[in-house]
Structure 1
Amino acid sequence: MSYFNLTWLVRNAFMAVLTLLGGLALVVSAVALVAAGAPDGARDLRAYQAAQRCPAAPVAPAECRWTQVFTVSHIALTKSKSKSNRAVLTSADGARWETFYASRGPVLNGLDEGDRVTGTLWRGRLTEIAAAGASQETRAAPVDTRAGVLIGALIIVPPGLLMMATGIWRLRRRTSPPTPGMVATLGLAFGLLVGGLFCPVLVGDNGDEFWPVAAAWLAVAAVLAIVARLHVSQERASARVSSP
């Protein structure tokens, strides 16, 4: 039985070219992602950290920070990783701000409707709340996007390179049937791509940090590489047994 039943993807030169182009597209996409997001990934975060307190309440989005008191009008907490925790805050003038949070604490899970918090405004966004000596950022707070860019590259570059290698390998041996190694390499590429997408989920709240995701991805890659190697060994052993 072929590894993940992917023999059809390397059965002829046409499919090998498609595999090669698919891998090339992944690698080019990763390079473009890094080139666009890495150089200025921390620009907004640095600007936020360096922002001074506004001398007066801003009437338009401003580069300075302004803090004011809000009343909690509604709270919705969730344990689902696919949904954000939410709170509606109402200012003294009646304006309602719907805010979202990556986690339940340390502030949000201690609040009830009617409680008061101190919110920070920057560039027209409510970036964090504070209460009882603790603070918590909202989803609107600026972050260093470089980690996310590197995670994206980590997830898609190795599978792309393996797909390209499989395509080239098949084209160089297009007159022969696909080998177990070709199929296993392509199966490993797809496995790494799917496994990489799940790594941020596996590490929970550290899913936006590079090194925890890299560690989880490397563990997944090691397991998949072992599985691919075992498949090739089994295929070769079966071929020797069936040979006259």
Structure 2
Amino acid sequence: MSKEVVSYKRHRFPREVIAHAVWLYFRFPLSFRLIEEMLLERGLIVSYETIRRWSQKFGAAFARSLRRKAARPGDIWHLDEVRIVIHGQPHWLWRAVDQDGYILDEILQSRRNTQAAQRLLTRLLKKQGIRPARMVTDKLGSYGAARRKLRLTVRHLSHKGLNNRAENSHLPLRKRERIMQKFRSPGGCQRFVSVFSAVRNLFIPPASIDNALARHIHRIRAFAQWNKATLLTA
């Protein structure tokens, strides 16, 4: 019997309401106060602070469940980093996506150097369990240096114009960052993006899906998987 990793015990609201509020927060660029208003329109009086606590408590558990059931990602890794300022201090969110835009991993670090790139690659190799067929990056030399240090013998394409897949993956997070009026701490940023990316991976159709019917089917399956992850269905 599988172990239940999500528990709704001692919560006044039913699991359907909790899971829906968490889904709204991580799926769409909405503030806690806007979600409070949306639930009120449905006759549910829930404070924005309660929604914030639900997101913190249940978001990570939902994301872990989603990752266990995730489809096998592609074998082309697009790597990039984006600057995030937290309390006036610059940080770098290092991210890897596959050829379909599926987020493989991301890690917030205070440096933009070879050591930081090596840490991302090491995590990727451990989590994916395989080496990529090809690695695509921009012109930042840290990627090539990290690849050599790890003795990673894969084809490495280093060209800004070839890495639009990774660069475009930063845009949804940038939108959320503006809605949230910046992140409050590095740990909070890392926790948010880990859940945000898991939910986005589930609901956003891969780039290979190019017709309305296939996208519709993809979203129906995504909702079914979400309901299982949040224990709304068996």
Shorter-chain TM band: under 0.3
TM-score by length of 2: 0.22
**Bigger radius of gyration, 1 or 2?**
1
TM-score by length of 1: 0.22
